[in-house]
């Protein structure tokens, strides 16, 4: 009974590390790592030891004989990956797990952010060195993308947060939450108390379409929508209103599929998740029954991952809008490609100028672009044209438009920033001054702010490893300045600057309060959706 890796795979390669027979690929040493939707178990080599299942932080590795609920397809997907793959020559010990050079003194490192990229960096420092780690976050609670970016109905993936709880509670970790770096404390001040500062702050901004009418109410960026259905503190509970019978989403990546699936889902199922009640109530109120995913290009370059589409729940009809050029691409699709996966879907003549048909339906419309948005106070229609032919636009009735066109990072005070890539200029995580081409001493980045908004949660493990290794190399070479301030002095500074500072004890009190609310309601957790609610839950735990 071999094992197979399924939909919720996070790609962090924890399973690779523990496999005794090297049967899980691609590994971080191999060139195709990060390019595949998931990792794959070779059923011919697997010895059924179960070590990979025990190590997986998101319960994605399962015995083939126990696959249920549509997951059976992953047994074949795992096997197919090895059908034409050349014989492997990778070593049993993978070089990406090297801990890095030894440093002759304990370091003090600040890590800004508590999402996966930042938390992997902290975890690596704590596991491989004697460093003391200071974690700072603008939110009173940790989690970053795991808490605020994973769809509420992906319960296994949300369980990823437990992987980092160890780091947050480690005796060499200090937690300072509800702190805005750049406002409450500067980068230069952090370097007075630390050898280095690692930024894992993600990419919160979206990419506008640049079309007339985009400023109308009812047009949303996907970061706000994702934040809304995840109870993000910087997104008000009433931010999103789902008007009309048709929702148009520009983009066809995993986030677009998440939004489409949730909007078309049965609200009774969503009430069993940690989705805020206000978001579930809005979905229940909504009359939307058709979601159209627009792709500027063809199905051969669709951005979603295969597992995300394969696990679309029953009750939602998934179709491809008929188009002569698009159908030619589908018919010529290479076996195993995303285009081939889409080619297996029903093709329909979709009259986007008319009201949607009854039933919940998801429509892939490739080779289309939005040319303008129309309406009075709110969106009433979207002009959609074949890509590159705006004069052939048709008026599509729609009450809501969502941009899901990628994320952009924002500048970090005190560090250089590349507006073109929306990242901090760096080499292997070392921040580089573009004026001189030299590293900025003590400054490092990891995650999306380092490499751009690409890769899933687990990709950050390898990314953080590279950054921490670069930092340790600099420390061993004497390129880091020893801090002049003590940990006690930093604590005193932050307590003076931040009236409602949340330290580890208060952070854990908020976490326990949410989980308790969830147990009462029969849900994983019931989130607080404002800082004031969180601070009230923390209560007297500060002392």
Nearest to 307 by CA among 13, 40, 113, 93: 40
Specify the DSSP class assigned to residue 296: S
- CA dihedral over 230, 231, 235, 236, signed as positive or negative: positive
What token pair was written down for 315?
A: 């009750």
431 SS3 class: strand
Q: What is the CA radius of gyration of the chain?
A: 24
| 216-238: burial string, b at 16+ Cβ within 10 Å, e else | bebbbbbbbbbbbbbbbbebeee
166 is annotated as contributing to ligand binding: no
| Helix-helix angle 222-229:254-264, to 10 degrees | 50
180 is annotated as contributing to ligand binding: no
CA–CA dist 110, 122 (Å, integer): 9
455 is annotated as contributing to ligand binding: yes
Strand partners, 179: none
Nearest to 428 by CA among 184, 106, 100: 100
96 is annotated as contributing to ligand binding: no
Indicate the burial class of 171 (C-beta count within 10 angstroms; 0-12, 13-18, 19 or more). exposed
342 within 8 A of 299, measured Cβ to Cβ? yes
CA–CA dist 521, 152 (Å, integer): 16
Instruction: Write down the residue that tokens 């109308």 correspond to.
Output: 216
CA–CA dist 502, 179 (Å, integer): 8
457 is annotated as contributing to ligand binding: yes
401 SS3 class: strand
Peptide bond into 26 cis (omega under 30): yes
Nearest to 528 by CA among 507, 543, 542: 507
11 is annotated as contributing to ligand binding: no
456 is annotated as contributing to ligand binding: yes
133 is annotated as contributing to ligand binding: no
363 is annotated as contributing to ligand binding: no
73 SS3 class: helix
531 is annotated as contributing to ligand binding: no
CA–CA dist 521, 508 (Å, integer): 20
What token pair was written down for 108?
A: 């003090």
251 is annotated as contributing to ligand binding: no
Instruction: Write down the residue that tokens 């890095």 correspond to.
Output: 100
CA 377 to chain centre: 33
What token pair was written down for 385?
A: 């044209």
252 is annotated as contributing to ligand binding: yes
Q: How far is CA 57 from CA 9, 13, 61, 116, 157, in A?
A: 9, 10, 10, 12, 8
296 is annotated as contributing to ligand binding: yes
- Strand 132-137 to 173-177 pairing: parallel
Tell me the CA end-to-end span of the chain in Å, nearest whole number.
Answer: 53
Instruction: Write down the residue that tokens 């590293």 correspond to.
Output: 439
**What are the binding residues for FAD?**
117, 145, 181, 448, 455-457
- Residue numbers in the known binding site for NADP(+) are 252-255, 296-297, 308, 455
> Which residues make up each annotated binding site?
117, 145, 181, 252-255, 296-297, 308, 448, 455-457
């Amino acid at each position: 009974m071999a094992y197979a890796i399924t939909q919720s795979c996070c790609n962090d390669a924890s399973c690779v590390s523990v496999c005794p027979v090297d049967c899980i690929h691609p590994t971080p040493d191999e060139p195709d790592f990060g390019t595949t939707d998931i990792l794959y178990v070779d059923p011919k080599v697997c010895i059924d030891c179960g070590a990979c299942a025990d190590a997986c932080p998101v319960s994605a590795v399962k015995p083939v004989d126990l696959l249920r609920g549509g997951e059976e397809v992953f047994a074949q997907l795992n096997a197919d990956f090895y059908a034409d793959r050349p014989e492997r020559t990778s070593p049993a010990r993978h070089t990406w797990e090297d801990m890095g050079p030894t440093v002759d003194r304990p370091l003090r490192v600040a890590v800004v952010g508590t999402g996966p990229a930042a938390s992997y960096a902290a975890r690596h420092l704590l596991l491989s060195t004697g460093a003391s780690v200071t974690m700072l976050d603008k939110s009173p609670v940790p989690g970053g993308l795991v808490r605020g970016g994973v769809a509420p109905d992906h319960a296994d993936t949300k369980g990823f947060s437990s992987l980092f709880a160890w780091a947050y509670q480690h005796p060499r970790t200090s937690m300072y939450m509800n702190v805005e770096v750049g406002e409450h404390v500067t980068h230069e001040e952090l370097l007075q108390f630390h050898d280095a500062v690692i930024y894992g702050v993600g990419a919160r901004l979206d990419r506008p379409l640049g079309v007339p009418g985009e400023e109308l109410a009812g047009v949303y960026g996907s970061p706000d929508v994702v934040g809304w259905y995840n109870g993000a503190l910087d997104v008000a509970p009433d931010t999103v209103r789902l008007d009309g019978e048709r929702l148009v989403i520009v983009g066809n990546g995993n986030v677009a599929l998440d939004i489409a699936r949730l909007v078309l889902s049965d609200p009774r199922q969503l009430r069993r998740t940690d989705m805020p009640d206000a978001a579930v109530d809005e979905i229940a109120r909504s009359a939307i029954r058709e979601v159209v995913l627009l792709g500027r290009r063809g199905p051969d370059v669709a951005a979603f991952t295969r597992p995300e589409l394969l696990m679309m729940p029953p009750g939602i009809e998934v179709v491809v809008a008929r188009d002569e050029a698009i159908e030619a691409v589908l018919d010529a699709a290479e076996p195993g490609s995303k285009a081939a996966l889409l080619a297996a879907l029903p093709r329909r003549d979709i009259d986007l100028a008319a009201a949607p048909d009854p039933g919940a339906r998801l429509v892939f419309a490739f080779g289309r672009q939005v040319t303008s948005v129309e309406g009075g106070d709110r969106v009433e229609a979207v002009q959609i044209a074949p890509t590159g032919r705006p004069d052939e636009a048709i008026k599509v009735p729609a009450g809501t438009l969502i941009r899901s066109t990628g994320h952009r990072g924002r500048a970090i005070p005190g560090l250089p920033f590349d507006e073109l890539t929306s990242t901090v200029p760096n080499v292997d995580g070392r921040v580089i001054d573009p004026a001189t081409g030299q590293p900025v001493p003590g400054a490092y980045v990891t995650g999306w702010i380092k490499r751009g908004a690409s890769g899933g949660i687990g990709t950050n493990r390898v990314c953080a490893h590279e950054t921490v290794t670069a930092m340790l190399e600099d420390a061993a070479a004497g390129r880091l300045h020893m801090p002049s301030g003590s940990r006690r002095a930093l604590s005193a500074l932050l307590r003076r600057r931040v009236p409602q500072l949340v330290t580890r004890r208060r952070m854990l009190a908020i976490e326990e309060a949410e989980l308790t609310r969830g147990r009462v309601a029969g849900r994983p957790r019931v989130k607080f959706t404002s800082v004031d609610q969180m601070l009230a839950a923390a209560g007297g735990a500060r002392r």
